[in-house]
Chain A
Amino acid sequence: MPEFLTILSSQDWQAIQLTLKLCLYTTLILLLLGTPLAWWLSLSHSKLRTAIQAIVALPLVLPPTVLGFYLLLLLGPHGAIGSTLEQLGLNHLAFSFSGILIGSVIYSLPFTVQPLVESFRRMGPRPLEVAATLGASKLDQLFSVILPLCRGGFIVAATLTFAHTLGEFGVILMLGGSIPGETQVLSVLIYDHTEAMNYAQAHQLSLGLLITAFAVLFIVYGLNRRFEREAIL
């Protein structure tokens, strides 16, 4: 192993693993929840739409601490959701992986929904009408028309969600604290290292994140260009 990797402590490795798990779960959950939501937003003319649009975009403008604070109240032992869970004999969700997963899903929602809405709008209703007149049911249309035609939108949405969750800090710190293996993700660990004056370790992880984030964004913009070119053809 290169020297750079061998000097990472087991705590560092645990944080890397946890971060990747959080990013992966968040992305998968958001693709499942965000697709129908984005579909509805791209089609609906209901008055509710404006309100939902604003709610989806909230995490873009709110300080993560505000989001984390309210989630802590809601999911904690005295919150509406947390106390209900306790009554059911389960644990409340503050300071747990499930808790920060919920936080991440809400925090990264706009990064899934907006590229999808954009690509659904670009496709327009016509290809689906065509497919329907040719005998394709709704489910068939999803796999034979929507997924291939909006492939670019799905890839961009997934990558941006993954990358944005990678950089999450405020919500996790507020809601999850810094429990190794449970809520101590890379961004939180870097903060802890810095607090403890372990600048070398903080630097290694920071540089690693910087390079990863750049690579991910580079890929996204590259794909975007490719899909735009395809769309023009």
Chain B
Amino acid sequence: MISLLQHAAQHCWQHISQPRQLAAAPECQTLTVQLSLALGEFSLQLNNSLPLNGITALFGRSGCGKTTLLRAIAGLDRHANAQICLNETPWQQGKQFVPVHQRRIGMVFQESSLLPHLSVEQNLLYGFNRLAKQTAVRLQPEQVIRLLELTSLLKLAPQYLSGGQRQRIALGRALLSQPQLLLLDEPLASLDQQSRSEILPFLQRIANTTGIPMLLVSHQLDDVVKLADQLVLMQHGRIHSQGPLQQQLLQPELAAIGAMSLLHAKSQGSHNHLLQLSIGQQQLQLPSPQHSVDANYSATSYRLRIQARDVALSLKPLSDCSVSNQLQVSITGIHPAPHPAELLVQLELDRQPLQALLTKQSADRLGLQIGQQVYAQIKAVALD
């Protein structure tokens, strides 16, 4: 399994998804946070309601308050006058403060946090043994062990595991405590590229199969775009904006980091090693993923990550061009890009946004205007 994963990483194919009918009904939770604190230069001012559904990324630069917020939600830090509610249940309100061990949260920390005196199995069951008595058990140890492929690790001591394996166990341990909400504090930050690929697909798999909402703190836009459904953008201790990832990617603050788009496509099967994908009425062909991580999890829908730099525009469909993926799109906006010579063109197809980064010169030459129908040539796609 591990070697397959490594292989998958080399090919940049990570396409664990699940047929929709198997997925647990996603639970929508609402987290209300009122928090105001100032520590020297650092200040955090929040009065927000966060609908949590699937994977919600809490994204922002280091030091913008993401981890502080996550720790306050977990109850690890108690701030005066804060108010935190999950759905109708107040976790902190006035003098009332529900201690960490009574909040039904699962938390995965940045670095390995397995209890070193316990085996993998004992670590996994630490929370299960304490919380499963009090609440209805929805996730059994066997299920989680299968889901995260931990069987071969159970008897080992944490010291002998790789970083990716440790984080996978921490994730399983958190899941087994039957949480209402999973809090992930940069779970990939301390991992190298290979270890990341040992855990990223599993996060996706958990979101799809368990339906437990996740709040994922990250400062890596790449990870966020691979995983998240919703994105909460934090800046200077405030929530700048929140919403579905596809729409959020159009925010100029994110475009400045590296403009990209996310398209959802349906799989129509594979032909001659080419995966046939459809977005609305339009078709795309991409080399089929050769190393499916797990044959049981065959995908019916894919996420396509497309860098704005990899999208070219033409007024007519091109036939004498090596780029075979051309999509008919309409221009919805033209904005300045971080570089003064470039423009960011916002496009739409089948109600999904797509961005293209062009030079001003090319845009002038083509005479691009809002509302115009053009053809987008897509040079490179990363498939998740």
Contact code string B261-288 (vs A, CB < 8 Å = 1, else 0): 0000000000000000000000000000
Contact B99 A130 (CB under 8 A): no
Closest chain-B Cβ to A121's Cβ sits at a distance in Å of 16
Which residues of the other chain, A, contact B75 by a CB distance below 8 angstroms? 132
Main secondary structure on B side of the interface with A: mixed
One of B105-113, B189-197, B331-339, B370-378 at the interface: B105-113
Contact B101 A132 (CB under 8 A): yes
Specify which of A129, A134, A140, A149 lies most central, judged by the most chain B CB atoms within 10 Å of its CB.
A134
Main secondary structure on A side of the interface with B: helix
Contact B109 A132 (CB under 8 A): no
Contact A136 B101 (CB under 8 A): yes
Which residues of the other chain, A, contact B109 by a CB distance below 8 angstroms? 126, 129-130
Specify which of A133, A140, A144 lies most central, judged by the most chain B CB atoms within 10 Å of its CB.
A133
Which residues of the other chain, A, contact B115 by a CB distance below 8 angstroms? 127, 130-131, 145, 149
A194 close to chain B: CB less than 8 A: no
Number of A-B contacts (CB under 8 A): 61
A135 close to chain B: CB less than 8 A: yes
Contact A127 B113 (CB under 8 A): yes
Cα–Cα, bound, A126→B177 (Å):
18
Closest chain-B Cβ to A41's Cβ sits at a distance in Å of 21
B226 close to chain A: CB less than 8 A: no
Which residues of the other chain, B, contact A148 by a CB distance below 8 angstroms? 117
Which A residues from 110 to 140 make CB contacts under 8 A with B?
Answer: 126-127, 129-137, 140
Contact B130 A135 (CB under 8 A): yes
Given A129-B76, A140-B130, A233-B159: A135 touches B113 (CB 8 Å cut-off): no
Which B residues from 109 to 153 make CB contacts under 8 A with A?
Answer: 109, 113, 115-117, 126-127, 130-131, 134
Closest chain-B Cβ to A228's Cβ sits at a distance in Å of 14
Contact code string B70-95 (vs A, CB < 8 Å = 1, else 0): 00001110000000000000000000
- Chain A residue nearest to B125 in the complex (CB): A134
Given A129-B76, A133-B174, A135-B177: A149 touches B127 (CB 8 Å cut-off): no
Closest chain-B Cβ to A149's Cβ sits at a distance in Å of 6
Contact B74 A133 (CB under 8 A): yes
Contact B100 A133 (CB under 8 A): yes
Closest chain-A Cβ to B182's Cβ sits at a distance in Å of 10
- Chain B residue nearest to A230 in the complex (CB): B116
Which residues of the other chain, B, contact A127 by a CB distance below 8 angstroms? 113, 115-116
- Chain A residue nearest to B159 in the complex (CB): A233
Contact B126 A134 (CB under 8 A): yes
CB-contact partner of B177 in A134, A137, A149, under 8 A = A134
Given A126-B109, A129-B76: A137 touches B101 (CB 8 Å cut-off): yes
Which residues of the other chain, B, contact A133 by a CB distance below 8 angstroms? 74, 76, 100-101, 105-107, 127, 174, 177
Which residues of the other chain, B, contact A233 by a CB distance below 8 angstroms? 159
B173 close to chain A: CB less than 8 A: yes
Contact B173 A149 (CB under 8 A): no
Range for the number of chain A residues in contact with chain B: 10 to 19
Contact B131 A135 (CB under 8 A): yes
Which residues of the other chain, A, contact B127 by a CB distance below 8 angstroms? 133-135
CB-contact partner of A149 in B74, B113, B117, B130, under 8 A = B117
CB-contact partner of A135 in B74, B101, B117, B159, under 8 A = B101
- Chain A residue nearest to B134 in the complex (CB): A135
Cα–Cα, bound, A145→B113 (Å):
13
Which residues of the other chain, A, contact B106 by a CB distance below 8 angstroms? 133
- Chain B residue nearest to A151 in the complex (CB): B117
Cα–Cα, bound, A133→B115 (Å):
13
Closest chain-B Cβ to A146's Cβ sits at a distance in Å of 11
Closest chain-B Cβ to A105's Cβ sits at a distance in Å of 30
- Chain A residue nearest to B128 in the complex (CB): A134
Cα–Cα, bound, A126→B99 (Å):
16
- Chain B residue nearest to A130 in the complex (CB): B113
Which residues of the other chain, B, contact A136 by a CB distance below 8 angstroms? 101, 126, 130
Given A126-B109, A233-B159: A134 touches B117 (CB 8 Å cut-off): no
Which residues of the other chain, A, contact B99 by a CB distance below 8 angstroms? 132, 137
Closest chain-B Cβ to A7's Cβ sits at a distance in Å of 48
Cα–Cα, bound, A144→B131 (Å):
15
- Chain B residue nearest to A231 in the complex (CB): B116
Which residues of the other chain, B, contact A134 by a CB distance below 8 angstroms? 101, 126-127, 130-131, 173-174, 177
Contact code string B340-360 (vs A, CB < 8 Å = 1, else 0): 000000000000000000000
Cα–Cα, bound, A136→B127 (Å):
8
Which residues of the other chain, B, contact A144 by a CB distance below 8 angstroms? 126
Which residues of the other chain, A, contact B126 by a CB distance below 8 angstroms? 131, 134, 136, 144
Cα–Cα, bound, A129→B76 (Å):
7
Closest 3 CB pairs of A and B: A134-B127, A135-B130, A132-B100
- Can you list 27 A-B pairs with a CB-CB distance of less than 8 A? A126-B109, A126-B113, A127-B113, A127-B115, A129-B100, A129-B109, A129-B113, A131-B101, A131-B115, A132-B75, A132-B100, A133-B105, A133-B106, A133-B127, A133-B177, A134-B101, A134-B130, A134-B173, A135-B101, A135-B127, A135-B134, A135-B177, A136-B130, A137-B101, A144-B126, A148-B117, A233-B159
